[in-house]
Structure 1
């Protein structure tokens, strides 16, 4: 199933008010980690899967990428990305990530931010990304951490006063569909373990360069003391991989 919640007016309206939608990459709590995983983009061809408003696409061009292609299933997302972009070296394609069909060895770098946990088959994505990457190319992405996606109820366990006691993890080894709530709307996510993410990459021919888990930056902790709870469990998983030779 190819899910497109972002073209729902109510959902999109809520999403565009999120800090990462208003402030861009600096409003994303994991950006300081993901940014460090992205290789030198100068003169590189870049593909962004699930590009949203195009923040990562514009960042790539700021880093002197030669060309950038952003893909997103949502018409509203692509429309907003186009409105915010004034650069002929950035092109946007409205399409499901599952349907990408680029030429072999077309890109130097493929990036994706918080999209793959909405996609049922991660191995198929790995195969497609591997094919369209040049030899030695980089694949850098973030997803919601499996600790976060293990339960349908993706929230803290609180006492009667609303104090956060702990983050519950259950059914971790039972992979598959999760019906949960995001921005007060029902959404479908796909839970898979950390080892599955890593092994699917390896089985597709990738070499793993780094695996990172999210934590708030010092600046975010200073500006928003509530972010300290993000040190109690990782919300995001980030992986950097490289195309090997199968």
Structure 2
């Protein structure tokens, strides 16, 4: 059974209180960058891996996509997504990202937001995405930045007064499991380097078209310290 903390009642209740859960895409710090990297959706078929509440699915539909499928392992996430969606063009299905099984070359666009650092093998993800994407199709995703995932603590160093001194990095080249904490729960994440993300894409026949590292989003003063270190890595690639 794949890790699925989101179906734990206490974890899900805490997640529902986050700005991205309350405000949707406008409450997601990485959204301004991700939005710029997305291709035109008009008339396209779209797959959202780790769709959560379905925000990106509904955005794709608003932008003219003709068919959207959202995949998530959490039944609670999918229940919320279905509550917020009343459109026959959008379908939600339960499943693990690394176990998706769709016909070959059935999607024009595959998107994913902050999900792949919960998946053990990004190479396996690339193989699956390559299989379901049409030639020339676009793969756009965000993950927690490897600077952020290198240490299990995922936190700043503070002085005695509680001021942030710096963000430490350790074991960067040592890829693998990080037992960390998120929403006061123990969570397993998988650290991998930037070069691994890029190389896995290249070796699986993708052409990388854009790479971004997040900073402080405009109009979000509470994110000002994000300019001191990137929290998110965003990549766009095309199936050759």
TM tier, smaller: over 0.9
Moved over 4 A (4+): none
| Residue aligned with 2:225, SS | helix
Matched, 1:156 2:156: yes
Structure 2 portions without partners, runs of 5+: none
**Does the 8 A contact of 2:46 with 2:107 survive in 1?**
yes
Aligned twin of 2:223: 227
Deviation at 1:218, TM superposition (A): 2.3
Q: Give TM-score scaled by structure 2 length.
A: 0.99
CA RMSD across the alignment: 0.7
Q: Give TM-score scaled by structure 1 length.
A: 0.96
Structure 1 portions without partners, runs of 5+: none
Deviation at 1:183, TM superposition (A): 0.4
**Does the 8 A contact of 2:217 with 2:223 survive in 1?**
no
d(CA) in 2 for partners of 1:97 and 1:115? 9
For residues 1-246 of structure 1, the aligned pairs below 5 Å read: 2-220=2-220, 224=221, 226-244=222-240
| Residue aligned with 1:6, SS | helix
Deviation at 1:217, TM superposition (A): 2.5
d(CA) in 2 for partners of 1:189 and 1:31? 21
Deviation at 1:219, TM superposition (A): 1.7
Aligned length: 240
Instruction: Decide which moves more: 1-10 or 167-176.
Output: 1-10
**Does the 8 A contact of 2:216 with 2:225 survive in 1?**
no
